[in-house]
Amino acid sequence: MNGQNTAAGPAAVEVLVQEEAARPRYESRGRERRSSSVPLDLRRQRSASSSLVQPLPLGVQLPPVQLPVSGRTLGRHVSLGPGWELNKEGVAQQQQQYSDEPSTSQAAAAASPPAEVPPQYQGPGVQERVRCHAVADSFDRYALQDAVLRREGSLQAYAEVLISDFHRVGDSSTSSVFYFDFGVVVFWQLSKEIEQYILREVAQSCMVAPLLPAQRETDRMRVQYTSAPKHHIENDLLALHYRFADDPQVKLAISFALAQSTKLSLLEERTRALGRQLSRLPVAMAQTGDIPVSERQIMKHVGDLFLVQQAVNLLGKVLDTPDSITAAPDHIGSLYKSVAEYLEIHGRVQLLNDRFSVMQELLDILRSHAQKSYYSQLEAAVMWLVGLCAVVAVFQLVFLSFWKPAWRAS
């Protein structure tokens, strides 16, 4: 893009997106989480009714569905906790206590109750789509700041995340994009074409150790704003009151938990790939009684396991409650913890550590056996050399016993 297109701002972005949407796509979009474990008929039914989702009757809950690939389950029901059962005045007081500049939802909560509910929030309400992409190990923060400011012109910087607003031509609504330092991007209410455009034109040049398209992880969630919701998360649908529709702290809490879960899914996939490589070794040992790999290959597996385990340990620091969430009002922290609980982040980390322990024990056994085999071969070689020396000595004695030098013959 030249300087004129960059200066044109959102209009140029929209034109380029429309042009590129008409081109054929040959690159992979990465893995769409949970799609392989949901029946085809159910996926078609969801895609047909994704524009308007009717809430379930009170007391009716979907049974949990165990996923064979993804590390978390669908159909769970998690309440947002007592902090979300407060009235508007209580929420406004908490927000004013922690923030000097109240957001749009804070001002609405502090004001007198409206006479009527806005038309768009009546009935099923308004539903927003949140999609998350893990595209790299990390981002170059300073390069990313320059790229975002050059493309969008607006930026909010926090300790571990950069937030940018995306304005569409001909639409008064504003979409948000969250760039996390650990290589994850979260999009709010954007089409797939615009998401791929932002990833390619803004984030691609700032990636550190970028992932191949087939290695990327994708997850999604829906947020529904209504006039009288039951604050809970169920079947990847988060129900909130409409007064939180424009609250950036609410979006930040949801995006943080979803980004951490998607990054964890990437490490889970790496662990599964390493587990598939190691799973054939015990079978071969049981069938042949020997190890089909060399000690060098075993040490390579040990190094791969250490790299994945190190990445999980580094992610453990990321999985702690972020400073931006800790400094927020109590109900924002409760929202973050509820979303993290729904995504089963801490349980999945514990499961990964258990898998690491099993694989580490297997590799220790293989390495010990390989070392014993090496020492056995070394011992056999030494014994063979000793035996060879003994045979040579015997031949020397026999030769000397029959050999008479010339001076003895006389």
Residues 149 and 224 in one domain: yes
Gap between the Cα atoms of 47 and 368, Å rounded: 53
Report the chain's mean pLDDT, rounded to a whole number.
74
Concatenated DSSP letters of 236-263: TEEEEEGGGTT-HHHHHHHHHHHHHHHH
Q: Which of 211, 230, 261 is the last residue of a domain?
A: 261
Q: Which of 261, 295, 327 is the last residue of a domain?
A: 261
Residues 228 and 336 in one domain: no
Residue 305 in contact with residue 359, Cβ under 8 Å?
A: yes
Lowest mean pLDDT among 121-135, 176-190, 288-302: 288-302
Q: Which of 237, 261, 285 is the last residue of a domain?
A: 261
Residues 272 and 340 in one domain: yes
Residue 377: inside a domain, yes or no? no
What is the torsional sign of CA 371, 372, 375, 376?
Answer: negative
Residues 7 and 133 in one domain: yes
Residue 8 has pLDDT above 80, yes or no: no
Residues 178 and 238 in one domain: yes
Residue 179 has pLDDT above 80, yes or no: yes
Gap between the Cα atoms of 125 and 131, Å rounded: 20
Residues 150 and 30 in one domain: yes
Residue 247: inside a domain, yes or no? yes
Residues 78 and 179 in one domain: yes
Residue 147: inside a domain, yes or no? yes
Residue 88: inside a domain, yes or no? no
Single out the residue of 331, 167, 337, 330 nearest to residue 241, CA to CA: 331
- Average pLDDT score over residue span 7-32: 44
Residue 395: inside a domain, yes or no? no
Lowest mean pLDDT among 182-186, 216-220, 335-339, 390-394: 390-394
Residue 134: inside a domain, yes or no? yes
Residue 134 pLDDT class (50, 70, 90 cuts)? very high
CA torsion, ordered 27, 33, 34, 37, to nearest 10 deg: 50
Residues 181 and 231 in one domain: yes
Residue 337 has pLDDT above 80, yes or no: yes
**Which residues constitute the domain of residue 351?**
263-372
Residues 367 and 218 in one domain: no
Residues 257 and 268 in one domain: no
The pLDDT tens digits of the residues spanning 192-249 come to 999 999 999 999 999 999 999 999 999 999 999 888 767 888 888 998 888 888 888 9
| E strand residue ranges, 49-151 | 77-79, 126-134, 136-139
Residues 227 and 326 in one domain: no
Q: What is the pLDDT of residue 374?
A: 63
How many domains are contained in the chain?
A: 2
Q: How many CB atoms lie within 10 A of CB 196?
A: 18
CATH label of the domain that carries residue 314: 1.20.58
Q: What is the pLDDT of residue 408?
A: 62
Residue 96: inside a domain, yes or no? no
Residues 248 and 279 in one domain: no
Residue 341: inside a domain, yes or no? yes
